[in-house]
Structure 1
Amino acid sequence: MARKFVGFGEDDLRALAGARSFGRGLGYLDAVSGLEVGDGSVTAVVHGTESYEVELTLGGDDGPSGWCDCPYGQEGNFCKHCVAVGLTVLRRAETIPHQRAAARARASGLEAWLTALSRDELLSLVREQIAEDRRLRRRLELRASAACSDLGAVRDRMIALIDPRPFARYGYVEYADAPGYAQQVAEAAGALRALTADGRAAQAVALAEEAIRVLGEAYEEIDDSDGVVGQAAAAVAEAHLEACGTARPDPERLADWLVGQVLGDSHDVTDLDLLDYAEVLGPSGLARMRQSAAEARRRSPSGWAERYLMERLVKAEGDVDALVALYAQDLDPAGATHLRIAEELESAGRADEALTWAERGIRDCAAEVYIDGRLVDYVCARYAKVGRPADVVGVRRDRFRIERSLAAYQQLRSAAQAAHCWEAERVAALAALREDARREYGRRYGGPVLIDSLLDDGDAEAAWQEAVGLADDRQWEQLADLSRETRPAEALAVYLRLVERMKEPTGDRAYEHVARLLLGARDCHRALGTQEAFAVYLAGLRAELKRRRKLMSILDRYGL
């Protein structure tokens, strides 16, 4: 019934968040406050170690979506806080239609009230808001200056918007203040676009360049961990490009400015791409830029910015051979440059040359432990495409001999299975991993790759034989998970040992882990027919750890 009222259900939330975030969201149901229902969305605050704002759509043809200002949510993920708000909405589903109707009525009432106000009343209202809201006042001042063609005032207001000092309480803009600053930068970008639309594109070009300069100087003193300031600065750069496209500034002067942006000391927060300006620069501008890039390259042959500038220009000219020659001057020891050359050649329809360069990269990097995996994938994909499965196996085998990782083992297995030779390859691969395990190869970061590989194969019996004295706790747990039904007694011993080790750590992650271990132990007792023994053990554990209320809550949720 809940879906009928809000347009989504628990299954939708679980699919959006994933099992882990959905499970963690269950623990935040009591932390949701300030739930406010709008016409098509709800907002709320979720309290934890910090308080986060959440906005959740109520569903539609495309299903529900959510936004949260926590770090995980800022990356575009449907986080545990979104889950908590969604579940809270489902709990109150029957009241949602009434609240949505009330929200529409409020919006309609506000619109009707504003429409009915006289000019003087509207002016009074705006003045009242300006007096209380500094940011609104700045936005309106900028619009007023633009409307009056007062470019000096527009510049002053623009610089005020992108000045970070009002947000820098301790000499720099902290993480919490970055979104507010980013909003003002975005407003400046909007004002630049408005100037261009009003027929003053040339002035917009000049103002955008000054804004980009100020942003570059300020960016190193901003904690922009979520990239919100960078996004707003990119909007300023887009406004500059748009204005250039309309105003058509002197191409050589524009070329000099762009080169200065790439080679300058200030941080290029706008991340300008020279290729975007190719049409505006035209032949003369591109020639001027090529000359400047060549001079810069001679002065600093190993400079990253100088190399990047030359690469982008050569790419803009469409000369594939010149680009390949440029890349070939400084080949990356891990093969990344060989791959770039191959991709450029393939894009130009020169597939045979592309494969030759990629194969050269494999040979040049054959002894390297760390090689760009994309290069190996590229070569293997091309071999597979032309019916050379044995060559795919050969490449994967060679990499496995050097890397000795689970990923390399998995890739060798996939290739050998496709070539119908996995049985022989597996024997040799496991022998090599077994020798590594004896030498404690790679043990610094956990148990041996041998155990991971056997577990990944689903070969629990072989893993049991190799695990004693070698496996780490993570591997023992995986082994127990695979063996609840076939070796319940041995798996039970593993679970109980790991529970003992997890008694000391605290926090949600540790408590969730304890719950998962106990669920495994319960399954083993059921397979052994000793459910009463598990009940006694669990009662004793709960009594021992009863002061950890969050743990008790999590165990209750899992039915333990």
Structure 2
Amino acid sequence: MQALPVPGTERYEVELTLDGPGGVTGECDCPYGLEGNFCKHLVALGLKVLAERESLPRQRKAARERAQDLDGWLSALSKDELLALLREQIDEDRQLRRRLELRAASVRGDLAAVRVRIRGLLDVGPFAQYGYVEYADARAYADQAGQAVSAIRALTGSGRAADAITLAREAMRLLAEAAESVDDSDGWLGQIGADLADAHLDACRAARPDPEQLARWLVGHALGDIDDGLTDIDPLDYEDVLGEEGIAVLWKSAVEAWRGNRRGWAEKYLMERLAKAGGDVDAVIAVHAADLSPNGHTHLVIARELDTARRPDEALRWAERGIQETRDLAAVDTALVDYLCERYTQADRLSDAVAVRGDHFRARRSLTAYQQLRAAARAADCWPAERGEALALLRADAERRQEGRNGDPVLVDALLDDKDVDAAWQAATQTGGHDRQWLALADQARPARPADALGVYLRLAEPLTKQTGNAIYERLVSLLLSIRDCHRCLETEDEFAVYVTALRTAQKRKRNLMRLMDEQGL
């Protein structure tokens, strides 16, 4: 392991291990390094080590000697001299003073004093400017808050786990309140919260508090609104502490809370968690069924739970009910439609799958719904009839759009997707089409109808000549290549040459466009 000074704008602690079992590894307390990445600071340290590799043995030896000298000097000091040295450091280092004061209070059994010092460690005041801890100071605050967790763990280790439980719960509340005033972009407080939850669980395992009271506290904590997710405690982690008696109270309290607020997210989540852990599928279903979403999503969730429980008939009924109870099929959860049609296909109920896809298409009339209807109808060998009805609807949409009414018709897209180029061309001519549809039409029609395609490409290219930007130039060059292909099919290359010459003359100031045209031989 090597530590060398590396210049930079921020101070980070970087450790590089050169000869570990995994090769070169390292740790850095910068945000990127804390995610387990080999950050640029480690790279910089590695480069410095390489640059000074010849002096590394000497530096390591010197470091060992300094450590031995320091240890020898401290060992030779008397008690009074050591105390004087320690007092000197306490006067200079506020953090060290707080840690030692907290440790002293713990040893004395002074719970009030420990509580005061933990409150001080969780106070954002010393780090806050204008009442808020900025990003640059969040790490320092988190380091101080982490000392509160260490103090609570120390209480458990010294045989005072009951006090540790009390202080851990107070610390959770204080940390949640503090989080509202801290820029925790890097998640420091989230880690402190997780450590605090672990400390509370360890204390409960050591102290063995009353299981009924613990169960009620766990439910209250799970349903409370002050935690803000910092201490994400799972009540089931306490199963060994609660025992059968506590688990029964936990379940009863959760049920009561859920019945009082069946639509509450926290109540639903807790009930679902407990029911799944207990293997009670019917209870899980009851939780979801009490608050069904209007788009059928909850019906799908229930169906999948029943599938997992190997109750496929009930699952299918719930999925069918979801479609029936959805007030607006245009807004239905498409995953529910897919699920139901898949189940119908597996059961060889192909006509039912077509019916569902047909209803969904008529409500939504999108290209995707058209494609799904086509796939289902082909499998049921009834696509010609279904296609006729579907296209009639899309044609009516296109005509309404032509009259200035609202709508986003997909008639041309559907015909193109069917590879019916002639019908798509006719539809676009009669009812209009978007530029992207005309471009797709020209691309598909070019081999058989080069003159028609040429007209489309020329029309689409003309407005681009008045615009600038590399993306515009790339689109224009792509169109020019298609125009050239049409002229080749028509054997009118001379006309294309005249067109390109005129274009170059008019656009000669656009150097990037000229470069792209040169690259394509235009």
Please tell me the TM-score bracket, short chain as reference. Answer: 0.5 to 0.7
Q: Which amino acid aligns with 1:543?
A: R
Distance 1:444 1:231 in 2: 56
Aligned mate of 1:261, from 216, 221, 225: 221
Aligned mate of 1:493, from 458, 467, 472: 458
Given that 1:473 and 1:498 are in contact with CA atoms closer than 8 Å, whether structure 2 keeps it comes out as no
Q: Report the CA distance between 1:517 and its aligned residue.
A: 0.9
Distance 2:514 2:155 in 1: 58
1:448 partner SS? coil
Distance 1:339 1:436 in 2: 31
Name which structure has the greater RCO, CA cutoff 8 Å, separation 6+. 1
1:318 partner SS? coil
Distance 1:309 1:171 in 2: 35
Distance 2:61 2:241 in 1: 47
Q: Which amino acid aligns with 2:223?
A: L
Aligned mate of 1:407, from 344, 365, 368: 368
> In 2 relative to 1, CA 467–214 (structure 1 residues): closer, same or farther, beyond 3 Å?
farther
Q: Could you tell me which residue of structure 2 aligns to residue 35 of structure 1? A: none
1:288 aligns with 2:249: yes
1:345 aligns with 2:294: no
Q: Report the CA distance between 1:498 and its aligned residue.
A: 5.4
Aligned residue runs from structure 1 range 341-420, under 5 A: 341-365=302-326, 367-420=328-381
Aligned mate of 1:516, from 468, 474, 488: 474
Aligned residue runs from structure 1 range 142-153, under 5 A: none
**1:367-397 CA-partner distances (Å, limit 9, x unpaired):** 4431222322222232333333333222222
2:229 partner SS? coil
Q: Could you tell me which residue of structure 1 aligns to residue 397 of structure 2? A: 436
**1:142-181 CA-partner distances (Å, limit 9, x unpaired):** 699679966979877866666555665454456x559747
> In 2 relative to 1, CA 282–120 (structure 1 residues): closer, same or farther, beyond 3 Å?
same
Distance 1:418 1:181 in 2: 65
> In 2 relative to 1, CA 193–267 (structure 1 residues): closer, same or farther, beyond 3 Å?
closer
Aligned mate of 1:537, from 491, 500, 503: 503
Q: Which amino acid aligns with 1:117?
A: R
Distance 2:102 2:281 in 1: 49
Q: Report the CA distance between 1:101 and its aligned residue.
A: 5.1
Given that 1:205 and 1:244 are in contact with CA atoms closer than 8 Å, whether structure 2 keeps it comes out as yes
**1:341-370 CA-partner distances (Å, limit 9, x unpaired):** 222222222222222222221222264431
Q: Which amino acid aligns with 2:67?
A: S
1:526 aligns with 2:484: yes
1:118 partner SS? helix
Mean Cα displacement is larger for which, 460-469 or 157-166?
Answer: 157-166
1:440 partner SS? helix
1:413 partner SS? helix
Gaps of 5+ in 1: 1-37, 39-43, 46-68, 77-81, 90-96, 504-510, 547-551
> In 2 relative to 1, CA 259–413 (structure 1 residues): closer, same or farther, beyond 3 Å?
same
Q: Report the CA distance between 1:447 and its aligned residue.
A: 4.7
Q: Report the CA distance between 1:451 and its aligned residue.
A: 3.7
**1:112-145 CA-partner distances (Å, limit 9, x unpaired):** 6544432566999xx9xx99xx9xx969976996
Q: Which amino acid aligns with 1:492?
A: Y
Given that 1:335 and 1:361 are in contact with CA atoms closer than 8 Å, whether structure 2 keeps it comes out as yes
Distance 1:457 1:232 in 2: 58
The structure with more radius of gyration: 2
Q: Which amino acid aligns with 2:482?
A: C
Aligned residue runs from structure 1 range 23-38, under 5 A: none
Q: Which amino acid aligns with 2:226?
A: S
Q: Could you tell me which residue of structure 2 aligns to residue 448 of structure 1? A: 409
Given that 1:399 and 1:408 are in contact with CA atoms closer than 8 Å, whether structure 2 keeps it comes out as yes
Distance 2:148 2:462 in 1: 60
Aligned mate of 1:324, from 285, 292, 297: 285
Distance 2:296 2:423 in 1: 36
> In 2 relative to 1, CA 268–427 (structure 1 residues): closer, same or farther, beyond 3 Å?
same
> In 2 relative to 1, CA 168–145 (structure 1 residues): closer, same or farther, beyond 3 Å?
closer
TM-score by length of 1: 0.62
Q: Could you tell me which residue of structure 1 aligns to residue 67 of structure 2? A: 118
> In 2 relative to 1, CA 384–559 (structure 1 residues): closer, same or farther, beyond 3 Å?
same
Mean Cα displacement is larger for which, 336-345 or 460-469?
Answer: 460-469
1:321 partner SS? helix
Given that 2:263 and 2:290 are in contact with CA atoms closer than 8 Å, whether structure 1 keeps it comes out as no
Aligned mate of 1:471, from 423, 428, 433: 433
Distance 2:180 2:428 in 1: 50
TM-score by length of 2: 0.66
Q: Could you tell me which residue of structure 2 aligns to residue 79 of structure 1? A: none
2:370 partner SS? helix
> In 2 relative to 1, CA 542–426 (structure 1 residues): closer, same or farther, beyond 3 Å?
farther
Aligned residue runs from structure 1 range 80-91, under 5 A: none
**1:13-56 CA-partner distances (Å, limit 9, x unpaired):** xxxxxxxxxxxxxxxxxxxxxxxxx9xxxxx99xxxxxxxxxxx
Given that 2:214 and 2:242 are in contact with CA atoms closer than 8 Å, whether structure 1 keeps it comes out as yes
1:265 partner SS? coil
Given that 1:164 and 1:181 are in contact with CA atoms closer than 8 Å, whether structure 2 keeps it comes out as no
Q: Report the CA distance between 1:424 and its aligned residue.
A: 4.0
1:439 partner SS? helix
**1:66-123 CA-partner distances (Å, limit 9, x unpaired):** xxx99xx9xx9xxxxx9xx9xxx9xxxxxxx999955988988876654443256699
Distance 1:205 1:229 in 2: 20
Given that 1:251 and 1:280 are in contact with CA atoms closer than 8 Å, whether structure 2 keeps it comes out as yes
Given that 1:182 and 1:232 are in contact with CA atoms closer than 8 Å, whether structure 2 keeps it comes out as no
Distance 1:244 1:444 in 2: 67
Distance 1:161 1:413 in 2: 66
